Amino acid sequence: MHIHILGICGTFMGGIAALARHAGHTVTGSDQNVYPPMSTQLQALGIELQTGYQPEHLQPHPDLVIIGNALSRGNPAVEYVLNEQLTYCSGPRWLGEQFLSQRQVLAVSGTHGKTTTTAMLAWILEANGLDPGFLIGGVAGNFPVSARAGTGPFVIEADEYDTAFFDKRAKFVHYRPNIVILNNLEFDHADIYPDLTAIQTQFHHLLRTVPGNGVLVINAEDEALAQVVDQGCWTPRVGFGLKGSAADWEAQLLKPDGSHLSILHDSQPVAELSWSMTGTHNALNALAACAAAHAAGVKPADAVTALRDFRGVKRRMELLGERGGVYVYDDFAHHPTAIRMTLEGLRRHIGNARLLVALEPRSNTMQAGHHRDQLGPALAMADAVAIKTGPDVHWDPQQLTARLGVPARSFINTSHMLEWLYKHAEQNSHVVFMSNGGFDNAPQRFLQHD
């Protein structure tokens, strides 16, 4: 079968392409911008890539067109598919029906930490010889690719964002998982969901698809998730939380920064974990991954042991390098809670060293200003803050910077922002660039500054 994928260079759609190619299909694709790392991964698989969305990319007609959720009506390729009555579907639907239906599926959901927890879980299964398949929404340090078929359980990052322009259900309802991690739940994606209740409805749709002989791995300290479960639950539950939560799986921080943990299962110590990760959020991610792996047959101590070699995910508090005693990090930030927990973990790790933050509010929710009142507390650990603004930011960042109580400014020009950061960085400073977009390559430019 010839499958053409519209929007192929996104991490999810690129993963779909790799899996379809593994299944023996002829795969081609197009995207507005054909760019690494996905373009190089796909070209290595022999997948032909084209730039733009011209109708001629669909000539001769493929047997199936898979349309990414970034495309909408008015797109020339989309209009051609509809006018010519080509067979089409969404990526999540194809994945669920054609690839996952005969697999044991482990789905990782939540507002924060999906990519990191998915990578952790896949690595635990890999380290324990289960040869997992996976589709990870990022570049994991333990794997050379973001998606592979494998022969064992399949681990997938289960996103609550909508499926396609013609299917407004959350992506994860297509996956029919056996084991589900519910990591946390907050309001996000204001461009498609009016409030938290609407997102909780989608999460409950996910719960309805999990069989009675499956397992739900749930953050025992998250009230919004508890409200979802209260709407109806037909699957055994396993809880996780920090020490004192009385959950099935608990983590005790042996170092305040979270780099050394004690993991407990059913109130009994399992093993200690010393690793490169920091923050209570990553302690919770580790618990969720260990609990899900245990549900898939991995012994608790073996799950913890595997995480000692976990190498993280690119752009998730990734230390890019050091220059002149200044350490530079790149973080895929899109929500105040994730920003706060990330910075708290780093602060505990670096002590009194100087911490500078450059933030680009880039998600639709952040740009619309839905979280602006939460950003002040989220940035409380910083010694200086720079906000990158622009025409898509529909609120005044100066109202935020004026009340932070530390040197803080908003900038339209990235170069001017970098000059300001250079002046405020000193020996043993830690500079964190936080954005879920490209940020004009600001972290790398900062490192290359003379």
pLDDT digits (tens, 9 = 90+) for 146-159: 899 999 999 999 99
Residue 312, domain member (yes or no):
no
Taking the alpha carbons at both ends of the chain, their separation in whole angstroms is 53
| Domain stops at, among 90, 114, 139 | 90
What confidence tier does 450 reach under pLDDT thresholds 50, 70, 90?
Answer: low
Residue 270, domain member (yes or no):
yes
Residue 121 and residue 76 share a domain: no
Residue 206, domain member (yes or no):
yes
Instruction: Indicate the number of domains in the chain.
Output: 3
Residue 212 and residue 78 share a domain: no
Sign of the torsion angle spanned by Cα atoms 138, 14, 336, 223: negative
Residue 341 and residue 375 share a domain: yes
Give the Cα separation of 254 and 229 in Å (integer). 32
Place of tokens 């040869």: 131
Residue 60 and residue 17 share a domain: yes
Residue 153 and residue 67 share a domain: no
| Domain stops at, among 47, 67, 90 | 90
Give the Cα separation of 91 and 323 in Å (integer). 42
pLDDT surpassing 70 at residue 190 = no
Residue 156 and residue 284 share a domain: yes
Mean pLDDT of 182-192: 82
Residue 114 and residue 230 share a domain: yes
Residue 289 and residue 141 share a domain: yes
Mean pLDDT of 64-77: 96
pLDDT surpassing 90 at residue 364 = no
pLDDT surpassing 90 at residue 350 = no
Residue 351 and residue 268 share a domain: no
- State how beta strands 179-182 and 215-219 pair: parallel
pLDDT recorded at residue 292: 98
Residue 233, domain member (yes or no):
yes
Residue 97, domain member (yes or no):
no
| Domain stops at, among 274, 307, 340 | 307
For 229-288, write each residue's pLDDT tens digit: 999 999 999 999 999 888 999 999 999 989 999 999 999 999 999 998 988 889 999 999
Residue 403, domain member (yes or no):
yes
Check which CATH number belongs to the domain holding 41 and give it: 3.40.50.720
- Do 192 and 168 touch, CB atoms closer than 8 A? yes
Check which CATH number belongs to the domain holding 424 and give it: 3.90.190.20
Estimate to the nearest angstrom the gap between the alpha carbon of 30 and the chain centroid: 23
For 87-118, write each residue's pLDDT tens digit: 999 999 999 999 999 899 999 999 888 999 99
Check which CATH number belongs to the domain holding 195 and give it: 3.40.1190.10
Residue 300 and residue 359 share a domain: no
Confirm whether pTM is higher than 0.95: no
Residue 118, domain member (yes or no):
yes
- State how beta strands 429-434 and 326-331 pair: parallel
For 37-58, write each residue's pLDDT tens digit: 778 888 888 899 999 999 999 9
Residue 353 and residue 397 share a domain: yes
% of the chain surpassing 70 pLDDT: 97
| Mean pLDDT taken over the chain | 91
- The shares of helix, strand and coil residues in the chain, as percent rounded to the nearest 5, are 35, 25, 40
Residue 117 and residue 194 share a domain: yes
Residue 268, domain member (yes or no):
yes
Q: What's the domain range around 341? A: 318-447
Amino acid of residue 16? I
